[in-house]
Amino acid sequence: MKICIACGMPMNDISEFAMNDISKDYCMHCACPDGSMQSFEEKRQNLANFIIKTQGFDNDVALEVAEGMMKNLPAWVSYFS
């Protein structure tokens, strides 16, 4: 099992990997249509949108929560140092 470097999702099945490619370190939810990984801003906003939808937070709070999650993920470490 791999863990997505961009969102932390466990990837157990090939369908969970970006482009069904187990050599990728990020999941299908963190991939752009061309298979590249989403940018920091894209991932930040997508996570915030997910938090708003699932937890009902307003956008500002959701962005703070998203950043709190992202600080601990390998793909985004350089954005917080």
pLDDT tens-digit map of 11-34: 999 999 999 999 999 999 999 999
Going by C-alpha positions, the residue among 70, 48, 68, 69 that lies closest to residue 59 is: 48
Reply yes or no on whether the pLDDT at 64 is more than 90.
Answer: yes
* pLDDT tens per residue, range 40-60: 999 999 999 999 999 999 999
Q: Rounded distance, CA 25 to CA 78, Å?
A: 17
The pLDDT value given to residue 61: 98
Q: State whether the Cα torsion 28-31-34-35 is positive or negative.
A: negative
Q: Rounded distance, CA 46 to CA 24, Å?
A: 20
> In sequence order, what are the residues at sequence separation of 6 or more whose Cβ sits closer than 8 angstroms to the Cβ of residue 21?
35
